[in-house]
Structure 1
Amino acid sequence: MRNYLKLLTAIVLTALATNSIGASTDFEIIKKRVVEALIQPGVNDAEIQPLINNLQEDGTWPGIDYEDVSNEGFQHSRHYSNMVNLAWAYRKESSAFYKSPEVLKALEAALKNWVDNDYICENWWFNQIGTPDNLVDVLLLAGNDLPEELVEKTQPIIGRANIDAPGARPGGDRIKIAGIQAKNMLFLGDRETFEKVVRVIENEIKYVEWVGKKYGYTYRRHSGGFGNRSAGGRGIQYGNSFHHRTDGVNNTLSYGIGYANAFVEWAVYTAGTRFAFAEEKLSRLVDYYLDGICKTAVFGKYPDPGAKNRSVSRRGTLRPYSAKTAENLLLTTNYRKKELQEIADIRNNGIAPTLSHATFFWNSEHFSFQRPGWFASVRMYSTRNHNMEVPYNSEGLLNHHRGDGANHISRTGDEYYDIFPVFDYQKVSGTTIMQKPELPDPSQIQKIGLTDFVGAVTDGIYGAVAFDFKSPHDPLIARKSWFFFDKMFVCLGAGISCKNDNSPVVTTLNQCLLKGDVTVSSGNNSSVIQHGEKKLKSVDWIFHDGIGYVFPNPATVQLKNSAETGSWWKISKQSSTPKDEISLDIFKLWVPHGKRPSDETYEYIVVPAATVEKMKQNSSQNNIRILSNTPEVQVVMNTKLGICQAVFYQAGEIQVSENLKLISDNPGIIMLKMKDEKVTEISVADPNRELSRFHLSISEKMEKYGDNFSAVWNEKDGLTHVSVKLPQDNYAGDSFTIEL
């Protein structure tokens, strides 16, 4: 990768130094860059001779099922991967098989087999992306030496990747398909069509109007609703998350990464030529990469497991990201250069991030919180989007509850690595779930949310999250909230009720890989717990793997720190999925609410980046005051920071301190920042997305006006009435902060 980047850098700088470059020269420069990028990966010569020797007379390889073209099968991808490897070896000068007639003969036979049979998969992706992409790579590498008639017969297959194809709808796949077509135009020498396709790619770097804006809480009154394929909404969302489909599911760390990488790839290929992207488009691409992808990642490096969908059923899905995208962006623009360099250094050199953030992706109902020593996220859904991706191609078969307020916590980035074959999918970190004998059929995974009040308030550094949770799977409701500060966050649940008599309900604090001892404190006496499953009473706090779980009121909890068994096959029925049973040591901690709970509650504080010694000092409880935890209002005060965060599910009031009362005239979330007991800053958000102005009052005298707010003292009431103009249209659900 390093050599590849150096090569591209040299080519880009050479092009930039040229004062006048003709269209023909530009075209050839870009083609050269594409080919050099294709041959850059190393070829293992030891793998090439067996491909030649094992190739059968009909141009097939043994061990590949050429009959199975199902979504779960289609081993034909191995066939075209073999062809690409042969083409690599043929074109790579350092390979012992460079320009080898034997390799070319094998490649010709394998390609003829594909052209003659034109293998079509039930999954459209292979037909319009996977197959054309690999075949055009073969032609770019070796097409000039293949028979002209064979090349011509390959073109209709590659041509299925075009900007007018059914799969080229706006979103991640459109850019991939356009990129394949652009590469094919380079091979064919079609400059006119190439320029047209490059401009399509460039112009797709844009924000799109989220489908939930139209099909939000009123979706039942619209024909088609989220199933309307013409509804749009695919692509980069306002707020910098990514939707691949019209279901409103967060796809930032799946299709959204491929989307960004496709843009970056062509930004590098075209840099310094007349085909180069406009600076405005590059800036927007950088914004999406830094504020969307990187802020959804742990330390900007590891995937947030809470943002993953069906890909959790693939091995290695949580492996750290490379620095390639950041480094490539640095080749194309100086915009936000320092931040891009920091991401590259984090990923290459393992430096700790310096920036802290609290980010709410309001169009995806996803919240992420980063501090230099830890990361946490909350995943939710509302009437404006769906809970989870459909288990396409028989992947992610147990994901029913992974959007139910999932709250993942990371200090290192590998707490959940490949845990999913042995995962208890009814004890997802942060969720409140009715424990069923078994999960419903996979066809029942994706559900539309049932409540409107879902959202967060944030000033970019701190934030509070609220989820009026009503399970679409079970007769269960709960009011759940999270309050985030520098060294801890507070988790509250109220109104937990379930109408099922037979199945207990639990709230899971965490389920992750077991690493080291588990220490439990009860009655100020702490001890290391032996492996196994046990019920613990009057617990003050629990510590595991650098994370403390504190109970402001001694609680009854259940803990399991022992091996769990499972298999990848349990969660994915792909033909390549291993079926072996595996075992992993797991840490699992949950609060039992019993069967048919009514108005149950929970309260706990998570203290990441802690030690047993720090837990014994009890500093978290000293700084945290839980002012209310009811179905009507949930409020937390951090006395050390002078921050009060309040969730009002309906209009109400709360006594923040002896001298300060907070009143909200409407449902919403409020964050107050104070200095010397004086309010200095107010942040508000409307999770219902209905208000044009947010009205609140505080028992502190002040007078101030701004373009979007007013604060007026009323002597008679003894209150300052504050009116804040809320973000509207595509920004409805975002927060607004005023300084006083």
Structure 2
Amino acid sequence: MTSAWSRRTFLATSAALTATGGALVLPAPHAAADDPYTALRATWSALILGEGFSPTAEPFRSRLADLGTRARQLLETMAPADGSLWPDAVFADPDPDTDPESYAFSGRMADSFLRLSAMAQAYRQQGTGLTGDAGLRDAVIRGLDHLHSQVYNDQQTRYGNWYSWQIGAPQALLDVCVLLYDALTPERLARCCAAVDHFVPDSTVASYTGTSTGANRVDLCRVLALRGVVGGTSAKIALARDALSPVFPLVTKGDGLYADGSFIQHTTVPYTGSYGSVMLGGLGLLFALLKGTAWEVTDPQRQVVFDAVENAWAPFLYNGLVMDSVAGRAISRGEGDDHRRGHPVLASIVLLGRGASAAENARWRGLVKGWAQRDYYSPPLSDPSLGLTSLARIKSVLDDTSLTVVPEPDGHRLFPDMARATHRRPGWAAALSMADRRITYYETGNGENLRGWHTGAGMLYWWGDTFANGQYSDAFWPTVDPYRLPGTTVSRKPLADGAGGDWGASLPDVNWVGGVTDKKRAAVGQYLKGLSSTLMAKKSWFFLDDTVVCLGAGIHGRDGSAVESTVDNRNLGPVGNAPFTVGGSATPRTLPWSATLTNTSWAHLAGHGGYVFPGGATVKALRENRTGRWSDINTAGSTDPVSRKYLTLWFDHGQNPTDAAYVYQVLPGATEQRTAARAADSDWLRVLANTDDQQGVAVPSTGLTAVNFWFGGSVGPLVADAPCSVMVTEHADGTATVCVSDPMRMRTSLTLTWDRAVASVVSKPSTVTSAATGASLWLVFGDLSGTRGATQTVKVRLS
């Protein structure tokens, strides 16, 4: 194959490389510097190809070589035919009206454009072995012509997945148009623009509804903006810019960002780590593309997005990973894991920082540097799924010696609007997933996440800072028992794949889900009704300094199936030799090993942590090897078997239980000695109530009393006249903090009494309509129904 470069192009490239110290992008030839669209194309090329790194330095040299290898394979196998561009990617649907596989056909059409985009990138990038190769360039152009004549044109009726036609295909198509702009005739460019106009008309963003919200809206705006860049149409770029504005304001229902940091997509699904990642990355790209131009995004409400970096995304990032509790059906995709989903978020935060204030940008870069440095399990620069542009952005941060690394925060975040919580303490972090009338049990769709049924049934995730960071990364989802997810209470009634319906359709008919937090500790509760079952339970979690105290009560079921509450289900990897000790006695490591542990006060799993059962409990334990396939949970997944070893602890409540209960503590990272000491200290934890009416605990050493009132009543020193969540903490300086919330969002009045001598009220929110002090504290709250379950904090001085 011969080179397509002119001498002038080689000189321009050489000058560019010299100026950037070996930066990699081959500039588009024949650029008119005074043309704003030329400038936009140059900016977009840099954004999607990367900039500021040497093509001869690792890891970029290897990635560029891999890109060249991929492009050469695509070039050699491309075989334009009726209904396909590659033999393994047939896109012609024989009967798009009735064929259940229409989604697959449309997906292959979009994938064909993505393959052309990869080839165009190999042509434009340095170090691919195909840089400036005329044969590669001409093949991409032939591919564009073929796809236009066959399927993506202004006469075609779409079939299958709308996303493929309105986002997947046009984004890749327009990227190719930018990268090869000077090699495409005006007629070809006009045909491409006409096809995009056909499938993505201006009306697509006329209203903020349906598939034009949140991350999808940002993706559609990217299409419109690039359509304007390629076609030289100012109105299209202006429309894209203006159509972003509905994404910015905080919402109170449906898709978008909420004041408490929640992010929802598909109306009912917490999606910070998947669709939220797409939105963050898309906004970063568009802000950077339009910055300094006549179309710059200047809407002042874009600050909401900047604020969300630390309010919405950072709470779910932990040492490089993004928590699965907010990744929706993406957890079932075998090509990714929580770390590989986290790394693009880090890169997007770096990119977004270009449009933020200097102080925000510096702090975010410090956050990203800390997350990237601490990701020992899957270092970002070794992530094979991370694109060149993301690699370059993260490496620029890691190489920036001026940055102050920001450590992981210490504290609790509660997200009532998406029934989620995160908790961080030195050395570990935890997350909780629940479901209620607004938030689905789980999302399935497109044949993905077929067995995520119980991920919203109180799943409690936890990670260590230098241990167990691959707990949910290492083939957890295809191999774990989906009826024994950590923290959940579940009926073992068999469920069909995708039970409950697609796209988060199934919602439990419950209101009491939420809790209170003082930003350090928290009391969280879930009234649980099982998916497609008669299961009911009251579940509470008390997130404290070194432990999560877990209570369950009122556990009831009539399915004729066993009901279980899973204490934990640890993925021990392929080897699985971690010693497991019960009350000081080692257990066998042979597989399978199972036991019923009676009157057990504690257990410890080496390399993970400890478990305490106050007063002793009967718990079942199982060490087993489990084999599954990604295709079991995702129809597009690999059919190759994968095996992992697990250690599972659970309470067996039996068939059709009535009023079953449990109490246990999880101590992440605790040694065997500390676990045993906690179990021996019978005064450390006092369980004040664990019934279908109330659940509460006291920890005298920390001055904490916390109660979830499922119904009004009296628990320890607290009396509430209606359902609520309460946490009181006495401080060493003679003050106390009283935290109260209305998780049901229904209270128009609430009276709370604390049987403790109080001298005065130091501060209170406007929701407190009356307060009295003296021998006890008496608080009257007005209408709490509009507080969205947020914590109301009262500070008092003790007598």
- TM-score, normalised via structure 1 length: 0.86
Is residue 362 of structure 1 aligned with residue 416 of structure 2?
yes
CA distance in structure 2 between the aligned counterparts of 1:356 and 1:72, rounded to whole angstroms: 45
Matched, 1:629 2:654: no
Output the CA distance in 2 between the equivalents of 1:706 and 1:64. 63
Q: 2:337 aligns with which of 281, 300, 317?
A: 317
Structure 2 counterpart of 1:494: 553
Post-superposition shift, 1:461?
1.8
Question: CA distance change for structure 1 residues 115 and 665 in 2, over 3 Å: closer, same or farther?
Answer: same
Find the counterpart in structure 1 of residue 72 from structure 2: 49
Aligned partner letter, 1:382: D
Asked if 1:673 corresponds to 2:696, the answer is no
Q: Is 1:507 aligned with 2:507? A: no
Residue 66 in 1 paired to residue 91 in 2?
A: yes
* Contact 1:185–1:194 (8 Å) recurs in 2: yes
Say whether residues 1:330 and 2:368 are aligned partners.
no
Partner of 1:307: 326
Q: Kindly state the Cα deviation for residue 251 of structure 1 after the two structures are TM-superposed.
A: 1.6
CA distance in 2 between partners of 1:573 and 1:61 (Å): 22
Between the aligned partners of 1:383 and 1:164, the Cα distance in structure 2 is 32
Q: 2:136 matched to which residue of 1?
A: 103
Query: Would the alpha carbon gap of residues 408 and 144 (structure 1) be closer, same or farther in structure 2, given more than 3 Å must change?
Result: same
- Name the residue aligned to 1:345: 369
2:614 aligned with 1:552: yes
1:357 Cα deviation from its structure 2 partner: 2.6
Distance of 2:307 and 2:458 partners within structure 1 = 27
CA contact (8 A) 2:412 2:422 kept: yes
- In the alignment, which residue of structure 1 is the partner of 2:580? 519
1:168 CA drift (Å)? 5.2
Q: How does 1:529-540 map to 2 (within 5 A)?
A: 530-531=590-591, 532-540=593-601
Q: Which residue of 1 aligns with 2:491?
A: 434
Q: How do residues 410-425 of structure 1 correspond to structure 2 at under 5 angstroms? A: 410-411=463-464, 412-417=468-473, 418-425=475-482
Q: 1:385-425 CA deviation, whole Å, 9 max, x = no partner?
A: 32222x21111111222111111121143211121111211
Determine the C-alpha separation between the residues in 2 that align with 1:91 and 1:644. 63
Deviations, residues 285-344 of structure 1 (Å, cap 9, x unaligned) = 122222212212334x31222223222210123224223122223322235456423321
Q: 2:649, 2:550 → 1: CA distance?
A: 14
Deviation, structure 1 residue 27: 5.3
Q: Which sections of structure 1, spanning at least 5 residues, go unmatched?
A: 11-22, 211-232, 656-660
Q: Do the aligned residues in 1 keep the contact of 2:80 with 2:86 (CA within 8 Å)?
A: no
Greater shift, 319-328 or 638-647, is seen at: 319-328
Please list, as runs of the form range in 1=range in 2, the aligned pairs for 1:190-589 lying within 5 A after superposition. 190-210=233-253, 233-246=254-267, 248-278=268-298, 280-299=300-319, 301-315=320-334, 316-320=336-340, 321-322=342-343, 323-334=346-357, 335-337=359-361, 339-350=363-374, 353-389=407-443, 391-411=444-464, 412-417=468-473, 418-439=475-496, 442=499, 444=501, 446-500=505-559, 502-514=560-572, 515-522=576-583, 525=585, 530-531=590-591, 532-544=593-605, 545-574=607-636, 577-589=637-649
Distance 1:156 1:552, change over 3 A: same
Q: Contact 1:711 / 1:720 at 8 angstroms: preserved in 2?
A: no
Task: Please provide the CA RMSD for this pair.
Answer: 2.9
Offset at residue 71 of structure 1 (A): 2.0
Distance 1:662 1:138, change over 3 A: same
Is structure 2 residue 65 aligned with structure 1 residue 38?
A: no
DSSP 3-state at the match of 2:565: strand
Query: Is the 8 Å Cα contact of residues 383 and 449 (structure 1) preserved in structure 2?
Result: yes
Name the CA shift for 1:158/1:317 in 2 (closer, same or farther; >3 Å): farther
Q: Shift of residue 526 of structure 1?
A: 5.2
CA distance in 2 between partners of 1:628 and 1:185 (Å): 63
Helix, strand or coil at the partner of 1:355: coil
The code of the aligned residue for 2:74 comes to L
Contact 2:109 2:164 in 1 (8 A): no
Write the distance in 1 (CA, Å) between the matches of 2:777 and 2:262. Answer: 37
Mapped contact 1:72–1:393 kept (Cα < 8 A): no
Higher deviation after alignment, 419-428 or 339-348: 339-348
Partner of 1:645: 706
What is aligned with 1:658? none
Greater RCO (Cα-Cα under 8 Å, separation 6 or more): 1
Q: Is residue 141 of structure 1 aligned with residue 179 of structure 2?
A: yes
Give, in angstroms, the shift of residue 145 of structure 1. 1.2
- Deviation of the 1:376 alpha carbon: 1.3
The number of residue pairs the alignment matches comes to: 687
| CA-CA distance at 1:546 after TM superposition | 2.2
Structure 2 vs 1, CA of residues 472 and 677 (structure 1 numbering), >3 Å: closer, same or farther?
Answer: farther
Bigger shift: residues 684-693 or 668-677? 668-677
Cα-to-partner distance string for 1:527-572 (whole Å, 9 max, x where unaligned): 5654423222222212223221110021111122221011111111
* Alignment-mate amino acid for residue 164 of structure 1: S
Which letter maps to 1:578? S
Trace 1:177-188 onto structure 2 (pairs within 5 A). Answer: 177-188=220-231
User: How far, CA to CA, are the matches of 1:146 and 1:613 in structure 2?
Assistant: 71
Mapped to 2, the partners of 1:89 and 1:471 lie a distance apart of: 51
Per the TM alignment, residue 714 of structure 1 is displaced from its structure 2 partner at its CA by 6.8
Aligned partners of 2:418, 2:511: CA distance in 1, in Å? 13
Q: Report the Cα offset of residue 161 of structure 1.
A: 3.1
What does residue 696 of structure 1 align with?
752
Displacement after TM superposition at 1:471 (Å): 1.8
- Bigger mean CA deviation after superposition, 411-420 or 697-706: 697-706
- Specify the code of the residue in structure 2 equivalent to 1:386: T
TM-score normalised per structure 2: 0.80
**What do residues 431-473 of structure 1 show as CA deviations (whole Å, max 9, x unaligned)?**
1111124546535474221111111111222111111112241
Counterparts of 1:87-126 in structure 2 under 5 Å?
87-92=120-125, 94-118=127-151, 120-126=158-164
Counterpart selection for 2:119 from 62, 80, 86? 86
Instruction: Give the fraction of aligned pairs with identical amino acids, expressed as a percent.
Output: 22
Give the stretch that moved more between structures: 67-76 or 555-564: 67-76
Contact 2:516–2:725 at 8 Å: present in 1 too?
yes
Given that residues 684 and 694 in structure 1 are in contact (C-alpha distance below 8 angstroms), is that contact kept between their aligned partners in structure 2? Answer: no
Distance 2:714 2:363 in 1: 41
Deviations 1:45-84 (A, max 9, x none): 3333343333335482233233456224533344222211
Q: Which of 562, 567, 591 is the matching residue for 2:651?
A: 591
Residues in 1 aligned to 2:461 and 2:529: alpha-carbon distance in whole angstroms: 20
User: What secondary structure, in the 3-state scheme, does the structure 2 residue paired with 1:395 have?
Assistant: coil
Contact 1:463 1:485 in 2 (8 A): yes
- Equivalent of residue 157 in structure 1, options 165, 189, 195: 195
Contact 1:163 1:197 in 2 (8 A): no
Return the offset for 1:106: 1.2
Q: Structure 2 regions of 5+ residues with no counterpart?
A: 1-15, 24-32, 51-62, 94-100, 153-157, 375-404
Q: Partners of 2:461 and 2:80 in 1: how far apart?
A: 53
Return the letter of the residue paired with 2:532. Answer: H
Contact 1:702 1:713 in 2 (8 A): no
Q: 1:116 Cα deviation (Å)?
A: 0.9
Distance 2:321 2:215 in 1: 21
Distance of aligned partners of 1:164 and 1:518 in 2 relative to their CA distance in 1, 3 Å threshold: farther
Supply the distance in 2 between the matched residues of 1:706 and 1:617 (Cα, whole angstroms): 39
Q: Which has the higher mean CA deviation after the structures are superposed, 276-285 or 541-550?
A: 276-285
Q: Residues 439, 430 of structure 1: CA spacing in aligned structure 2 closer, same or farther, 3 A cutoff?
A: farther
